[in-house]
Chain A
């Protein structure tokens, strides 16, 4: 390290960085200081205020500009003579193809989402370019090395699907604050301000129960000449009062749960609010999204405060009022955005009122925003450390120093005295469908599932393909591309609506389908098994992919661990948690599973984590920490 002999490999290298965010800023700086002279950097994002606490290449004046471009300019100020090529673009764009990737000596990821990571992994495999992958959350971080044929690829260890909650937990039996947030955001907010025509369980529930569909149908419609406060109170009483009463009448539900208590606006608020708050309707009406705030008009200052039930009720009615007064045009096509202050206020208040009803502790707007917006915990120091580790691995990769490749975990609590723990990389997983071309099998009802279901739920969601092509033997069933003939497109569109068994080349039990992404140069064979019935709660997709993806029973395990994170008996060790860390990352796009991590880490208390899975090879001079091979490791995880 740091000697003359690697100065040459560093100078001669052409490096691709994907991501110019938290890790990216640190990485670009450290690469430039370390002597790299030809760096390309892709990032589609623009700079936001909440980036500035750690993405040190950016200033307030850069807000709204391209991260990749501003980062380049900032680094050129202290290293003017190197070449940095920025791309303000999505790494999934079709021009970043295998040929593009082939020009690089190594690819370094500082990404914030699973999809893009998987995409880059495939391109690196196809282009045979080594990949150094990274992720951080809070004080935890990790860096891994992926070299085709030498080490496992990014997808050798299956990534857990995004956490979903059973519908009935959200609609009827919430037990945690996050359930109330999901209800407030995905059901209530969507019902009020989103597309009215969309199916919504909030409605289904109430109509189911009351059996008077007429009543439920238009309850969310504002009646002609209805005063906005009246309207708000009517909705309030319906959602937090009436709906709960209806639910309570079904005794079956409450056998093992605490019974919620209905809340009516009259119980918590005086009859007429308007006079108390003065006239806020018009005074604050402005087009600026961020300036309309019910907290401001109610004089609530600190987003860290936990509001009382009364305060939450006021915020609920006030946000509703402000939406109708200042942003009426948007109603009907809004979707929740964590940067939309009024939306966050509405969701916080609604979630808290529901939480109060179910005896769940209330939370501050700051906390609620974090949960609703999947906001990742991030600090500059971890990103800086991880960037340093990435450069060290990148240099080893350039030197082809295969024996010394390491994956490194940054821990919050030391394990065997170590805060930075290097581990030998795993070998490629022979059953990995991405790097070992191992086939998958899919249980599906071939008489009921349409090709569209297969494309959306499997090809896109599970296999992460962008431009898929589906073949049965030599027959093309489906294809996405820019240069297709009109009749082909019509043909494929028709196929999408057909059930599998009725496709031009019938797909039934025993069929082998070939799915290919031309951009990723990734092909996958899927063996079809016909199955009649699926469990709606456990297998909501109505199909089960196995072989490489985690088996569905694992999801149940996750649920049972869910309550409070580390309350299960087999509390995960720091290293185990770190092993799972690649799902968590800088940035905002995270799956539900990722969100679980910060909970675990803040509850983490065990100061002497013994790393059960870690064996130390106790050689006199150079001890080496090794984790079990991935498949035994997987078994252990499943056993817990």
Chain B
């Protein structure tokens, strides 16, 4: 690392977390630039975590207006501001986040992220997209991958009491602690190779291990449904269930997978829950925060490459969905 030291103020504020990840990681964090697109409850949780952690800057993109839905799980939007509703969701969140940590620059970028060119993404070290279409996910992921520097890419979604994180760190080099042959702790360097979102979701289902989280499949069905129907993300309700189940059947047939593998009850829960369940936002936003800190600091095993949480069974599971050649 370059020799710049943390200021006295930083050391005092970040004391407890420096004890977790070290001063070196804290310095890297303070130089990192994060972009977040789509400000619902899970993204709000993530932003809080990363602002507290002390990143260099955070840029928010969400031109949406404040609605009941937006308010339901987003603690960054204060209802009284809602009255003077000239502001976008991103602007309101930005105002709240700024005061969480004066050492982090929080700003808003307006516009449709999927229309932004590569130059725009080049300004960031980490790009997170939430609540966006399959198309948008793929295209932003590809733009990040074309840049000369590594930009870590994440998608995060929460539907009802289920959450999903996708991670693409491209080629990630990091260090971790290990015991050597004499049982003494040492630091070793590791390297991981990640598939893109497109590559990941095109892995044939039948080639995946039987125990892969059912949520993985269920989320892909919903994604495909919204795309086929031209819906905005989350623009789905219980009336859509028959059509969703029909699509599920078709996809399962095409993938040579028994359709009972994706329970209808699970599909029903995902279709019904346009609102996020706040405890799940906190959990998913927390895991995502930790992963982004790992990616920036280059310390510790990052998750590879999907994470799922379902409040119903309480499990938080990592799934590696990639072609066998990419697995290591």
Contact = CB atoms under 8 A, between A and B. Distances in A.
Interface of A: 1-3, 26, 29-30, 32-34, 49-50, 52-54, 56, 59-60, 77-78, 80, 138-139, 301-304, 366, 370, 375-385, 387-389, 391-392, 406, 408, 412-414, 417-422, 564, 566-567, 598, 602-607, 621-622
Contacts, number: 194
Contact of B316 (A33, A54, A419): A419
9 contacts: A3-B272, A50-B13, A78-B75, A378-B16, A379-B21, A383-B286, A412-B300, A417-B318, A605-B176
B16 to A, nearest CB: 4
B282 A388 contact: yes
B280 A78 contact: no
Contacts of A138: 19-20
Contact of B278 (A33, A56, A604): A33
Interface in B127-183: 160-161, 176-179, 183
Contact of B301 (A381, A383, A408, A607): A607
B209 to A, nearest CB: 10
Given A49-B12, A380-B17, A605-B185, 17 more contacts: A1-B311, A26-B282, A53-B17, A53-B52, A54-B16, A78-B76, A378-B20, A380-B52, A384-B283, A384-B289, A388-B281, A388-B282, A392-B279, A419-B318, A422-B314, A605-B176, A605-B178
B92 to A, nearest CB: 11
A388 B279 contact: yes
B234 interface: no
Contacts of A420: 283, 287, 309, 314-316
A388 B280 contact: yes
Given A33-B41, A54-B17, A59-B99, A380 B49 contact: yes
Interface in B1-55: 5-6, 11-21, 23, 41, 45, 48-49, 52-54
A53 B75 contact: no
Contacts of B83: none
B196 interface: no
Given A50-B15, A366-B18, A2 B160 contact: yes
B278 A391 contact: yes
Nearest to B310: A1
Given A385-B286, A417-B318, A417-B319, A1 B16 contact: no
A419 B280 contact: no
A110 B300 CA distance: 27
B59 interface: no
B16 A375 contact: yes
A74 B100 CA distance: 12
B48 A375 contact: no
A606 B20 CA distance: 18
B312 interface: yes
A74 to B, nearest CB: 10
Given A50-B12, A603-B185, A30 B287 contact: no
B222 to A, nearest CB: 16
Contacts of B161: 1-2
A381 B287 contact: yes
B200 interface: no
B177 A602 contact: yes
B317 A418 contact: yes
Contacts of A406: 314
B78 interface: yes
A379 B278 contact: no
Given A78-B77, A379-B53, A422-B315, A30 B177 contact: no
Contacts of A566: 179
Contacts of B78: 77-78
Given A54-B52, A378-B20, A605-B177, A419 B287 contact: yes
Nearest to A52: B13
A340 to B, nearest CB: 14
Given A49-B13, A303-B11, A566-B179, A34 B287 contact: no
Nearest to A598: B19
Nearest to B53: A380
Nearest to B311: A1
Contact of B307 (A32, A383, A388, A419): A419
Contacts of B179: 566, 603, 605-606
**What 9 pairs between A and B have smallest CB-CB spacing?**
A420-B316, A388-B282, A2-B277, A422-B314, A33-B278, A1-B161, A385-B286, A388-B279, A388-B283
B313 A377 contact: no
B195 interface: no
Contacts of B183: 567
Contacts of A603: 177, 179, 185
Contacts of B293: 381
Given A1-B160, A34-B278, A567-B183, A382 B286 contact: yes
Given A53-B16, A385-B287, A304 B177 contact: no
Contacts of B17: 53-54, 377-380
B105 to A, nearest CB: 17
B305 interface: no
A168 to B, nearest CB: 27
Contacts of B58: none
A370 B48 CA distance: 26
A303 B6 CA distance: 10
B318 A50 contact: no
B282 A56 contact: no
Contacts of A621: 263
Contacts of B53: 53, 379-381
Given A139-B20, A381-B287, A78 B79 contact: yes
Q: Looking at A375, A408, A419, A422, which has the most chain B CB atoms within 10 Å of its CB? A: A419
Given A53-B16, A56-B52, A417-B319, A385 B283 contact: yes
A305 to B, nearest CB: 9
Given A54-B17, A77-B78, A604 B316 contact: no
A538 B316 CA distance: 43
Nearest to A59: B99
Nearest to B99: A59
